[in-house]
């Protein structure tokens, strides 16, 4: 095997490092294949060998995330999409974003649950207003408070809950689609 | 005008992405080939594939059981990882080709409607 320039060797070491979530055999196989490719291109007298590969991290991500994101998007569950998004996340912002969207989903599920509970506990569920009191959901405080929604609590909570669930899911799918598009930049522009 | 050229280029890029999988499967129909060989064949046909893009795609095709691989060492020089269509890959290739022809035919008919 011919000698490869130092920066190419460094790229291959980096690539293997960034492929670390994959099993060792698969990782080594990918690196050996790219090495063989680059060695042949070097033998052809190619100039900038690494230009078509981008950074080692981005290139590794194409192997790691594309499959995970595609599977999650096809499956459609918010949990799967969130996990796929976090799988390759290197920036803390992704964790905050996915966590925030997860909280919005929990909130949505909670509101839906409240709209059902209202049927069984009409006195306790709703929007309560009193002196120094404003409570949304279930209220069991000491201070006197008046429930202002009445039976409207059922459609209001149901709609708000559905809107929260739907919008968080929509955002997750949007982010996953965007990431997937970013992962496939390797085709010549 | 420059913005328009950029938009058309982005659209071309999408076309390329959408058809690369079919092009790779078609190129493997007759004989097994390795990655760089595939890039060279496709680019000789004018497809404009970047070198890096082929391996993640081949990896996915292998995960989907459409191709299988084998390292071949020709003796002198570099060993190569060859990709061969599986039965499933051949079937995928045939259905995708039929879909492509149907689609291309439909677009051609629309082009023919031009005044």
- pTM, two decimal places: 0.64
Flag whether pLDDT at A189 surpasses 50: no
Answer for the pair A156, A149: CB distance below 8 angstroms, yes or no.
Answer: yes
Nearest-CB residue to B49 (from A34, A184, A187): A187
Under the banding of pLDDT at 50, 70 and 90, the label for residue A65 is confident
Mean pLDDT of A147-175: 91
Question: How large a percentage of chain B has pLDDT more than 70?
Answer: 97
- Residue of higher predicted confidence among B12 and B101: B101
CB contact under 8 A, A187 and B13: yes
Under the banding of pLDDT at 50, 70 and 90, the label for residue A180 is confident
Enumerate the domain spans of chain A: 77-183
Distance from CA of B63 to the nearest CA of A (A): 9
Flag whether pLDDT at A54 surpasses 80: yes
Buried b (16+ CB within 10 A) or exposed e, A22-34: beeeebebbbebb
pLDDT at position A79, please?
A: 83
Nearest CA to B58 out of B83, B89, B41, B80 is that of: B83
- Residue of higher predicted confidence among A139 and B55: B55
Nearest CA to A107 out of A115, A30, B61 is that of: A115
Answer for the pair A85, A69: CB distance below 8 angstroms, yes or no.
Answer: yes
Q: At what angle do helices B2-27 and B35-44 cross, to 10 degrees?
A: 120
Q: Which residues contact B99 (CB under 8 A, 6 or more apart)?
A: none
Least confident of A91-100, A164-173, B96-105: A91-100
Answer for the pair A187, B53: CB distance below 8 angstroms, yes or no.
Answer: yes
Mutation site, A4, A16, A26, A33, interface B, largest B CB count within 10 A:
A33
CB contact under 8 A, A62 and B56: yes
Q: pLDDT tens-digit profile of B102-112?
A: 999 999 999 99
Closest residue of chain B to A33, computed from CA coordinates: B81
Q: What class does CATH assign to B2-112?
A: mainly alpha
Enumerate the domain spans of chain B: 2-112
ipTM associated with this complex: 0.88
């Amino acid at each position: 095997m011919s000698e490869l320039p130092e920066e190419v060797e460094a790229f291959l070491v980096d690539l293997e490092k960034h492929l670390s979530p994959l099993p060792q055999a698969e990782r080594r196989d990918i690196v050996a294949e790219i090495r063989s490719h680059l060695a042949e291109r070097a033998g052809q007298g190619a100039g900038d060998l690494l230009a078509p590969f981008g950074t080692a991290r981005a290139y590794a991500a194409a192997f790691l995330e594309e499959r995970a994101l595609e599977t999650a998007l096809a499956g459609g569950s918010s949990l799967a999409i969130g996990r796929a998004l976090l799988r390759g996340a290197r920036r803390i912002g992704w964790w905050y974003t996915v966590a925030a969207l997860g909280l919005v989903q929990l909130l949505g599920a909670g509101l839906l649950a409240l709209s059902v509970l209202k049927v069984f506990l009409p006195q306790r569920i709703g929007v309560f207003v009193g002196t120094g009191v404003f409570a949304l959901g279930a209220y069991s405080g000491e201070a006197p408070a008046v429930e202002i929604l009445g039976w409207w609590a059922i459609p209001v909570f149901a709609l708000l809950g559905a809107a929260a669930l739907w919008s968080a899911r929509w955002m997750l799918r949007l982010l996953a689609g965007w990431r997937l598009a970013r992962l496939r930049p390797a085709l010549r522009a | 005008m420059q913005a328009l050229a950029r938009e058309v280029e982005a659209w071309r890029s999408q076309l390329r992405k959408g058809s690369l999988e079919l092009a790779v499967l078609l190129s493997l129909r007759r004989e097994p080939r390795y990655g760089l060989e595939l890039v060279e064949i496709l680019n000789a046909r004018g497809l404009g594939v970047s070198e890096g893009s082929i391996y993640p795609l081949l990896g996915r095709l292998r995960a989907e059981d459409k191709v299988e691989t084998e390292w071949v060492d020709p003796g002198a020089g570099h060993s190569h990882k060859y990709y061969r269509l599986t039965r499933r890959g051949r079937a995928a290739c045939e259905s995708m080709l039929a879909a492509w022809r149907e689609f291309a035919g439909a677009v051609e008919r629309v082009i023919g409607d031009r005044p």
